[in-house]
Structure 1
Amino acid sequence: MRNVLAIFVALIAGVMVYPMLASGQSTKETNLFSAAANDDVATIGTLLSKGVDIDARDGDGRTALLVATHGNKVDAARALIDAGADVNAKDNIHDSPYLYAGARGHLEILMMTLAHGADLKSTNRYGGTALIPAAERGHVETVRTLIEAGVDVDHVNNLGWTALLEAIILGEGGNAHRQIVDLLVKAGANVNLADRDGVTPLQHARQRGYKQIEAILVAASAR
């Protein structure tokens, strides 16, 4: 009853509450997740100085760093990464701070993960690298950053799609996706790598009436 009352009072006060989590989760570890969710750097520092496990997991397998990344809490993420948090630690659905930051376009956190050992070959639950969902969602600077970091531009996910195919098939054909297609082509993406049905990027672009993207592909000898 006291825990329920405390949560209710905190909600009334406008504070984000992180619920008690996995079996055996200590109060200090729970507080670390709450601090990460609230971008509370001071509390993070205090808890870590007391020996709290920086890579403890919640009921969904998330670390405090992944919680911070979910909310794009840059200061909390920086504090945790600087203290040694694992940027590649995956949760129960195979998201890691690195993969999630890339997929969601959280560029500042992404760059921190890249500077602290991000595994460029790691994949999400769809078998895709961070580059593929970034391309799909139109995160231009994220795509640029991942290409420069060395992510494989021709990686094929479980759906049989590359970043180039996803940018066309699941994109909107607008300026952001046009820029992404241009970036991928200039980075050496195979413009003729077809999907599982044998449909090429150029054919997908033509089917959707994406004239500017079509022009980029044709200039790169796409068929």
Structure 2
Amino acid sequence: MNFMLLKLPAGALLAFAIVAVPAFAHDPAGPTQAAAAGAHANPHAATQPDQGHAAPTAHATPAIDSSPLAAQDLSRYLFDAARAGDVEVLKSLLARGVQVDARDERGSTALILAAYYGKADAVRTLLDAGASPNLGDSARGNTALMGALFKGEIESAKRLLADPRTDVNARNAAGQTAAMFAALFGRADLVEALAARQADFALTDASGATAEALARTQGNAALADRLAALSRKRGG
């Protein structure tokens, strides 16, 4: 996807890369290319949700071929529609038999993409269609909830948290949980919602850091104190 420089809490360093941006299947211009660039990060920085997907463009809503389903691969359109938040296209594709938890070439599901791009109505549509909220992307194991927290997509995060199937203590490949993403990126407004879903704030990531410790590394003392209190409360 097109890389967008995000404003992070003070002291947060994230690895990033600008990669090839694939065009949509119906775009005659073909794929565009961007130069690769990168910088590496604080060991406590959250691994980013999949950064390799094209951002929505003016051509984001795909025209669906009316030829038989067996003669075409419709799953690629599911990911375009998720990025664009096109609920009607999503419903049409799912009605035609496209698997709701299909993965794109980078291992992300449509739900992960919809949450990352802040398409809350698409998130709801996919959840209602049975999409699993706990699948992680292939690269780093980040879930849809982690992606929403990383980007600060509050409405998408709330829709995921409202689904009783969402495992708020799911971990990515680095052992990080949604609470740790909230701590790293200062999502104080979602900490209480995580607590209401029985998030375990005492869990540690692969480096041994808790959500409280991660908030303190970002200089967010108020959030760290709240996380410490919630951890004690849950522990009795």
Q: Same fold (TM over 0.5)?
A: yes
TM-score by length of 2: 0.66
Alignment of 1:4-153 (within 5 A): 6-8=26-28, 14-16=58-60, 27-92=73-138, 93-116=140-163, 117-153=165-201
Q: Distance in 2 between matches of 1:4 and 1:135?
A: 35
Aligned residues: 176
Q: Distance in 1 between matches of 2:210 and 2:149?
A: 15
Residue type of the alignment partner of 2:108: R
Q: Distance in 2 between matches of 1:104 and 1:39?
A: 16
- CA deviation map 1:139-159 (0-9, x unaligned): 111222212221111111111
Tell me the secondary structure at the aligned position of residue 27 of structure 2.
helix
Q: Distance in 2 between matches of 1:156 and 1:183?
A: 17
State the shift of 1:27 in Å.
Answer: 2.8
Q: Distance in 1 between matches of 2:149 and 2:25?
A: 38
Q: Distance in 1 between matches of 2:119 and 2:30?
A: 20
Q: Distance in 1 between matches of 2:144 and 2:93?
A: 20
| RMSD between aligned residues | 2.7
Higher normalized helix content (fraction of residues): 1
Tell me the secondary structure at the aligned position of residue 59 of structure 2.
coil
Residue type of the alignment partner of 2:214: E
Structure with higher Rg: it is 1
Q: Distance in 2 between matches of 1:114 and 1:90?
A: 16
Structure 1 gap ranges (5+): 19-25, 191-223
TM-score by length of 1: 0.70
Q: Distance in 2 between matches of 1:139 and 1:97?
A: 15
Q: Percent identity?
A: 30
Q: Is the 8 A contact 2:61 2:80 kept in 1?
A: yes
From 185, 208, 214, the equivalent of 2:228 is 185
Q: 1:148 to 1:156 in 2, by over 3 A?
A: same
Q: Distance in 1 between matches of 2:203 and 2:105?
A: 31
Q: 1:153 to 1:78 in 2, by over 3 A?
A: same
Structure 2 gap ranges (5+): 1-22, 32-56, 63-71
Q: Tell me which moved more, 58-67 or 141-150.
A: 141-150
State the shift of 1:67 in Å.
Answer: 1.1
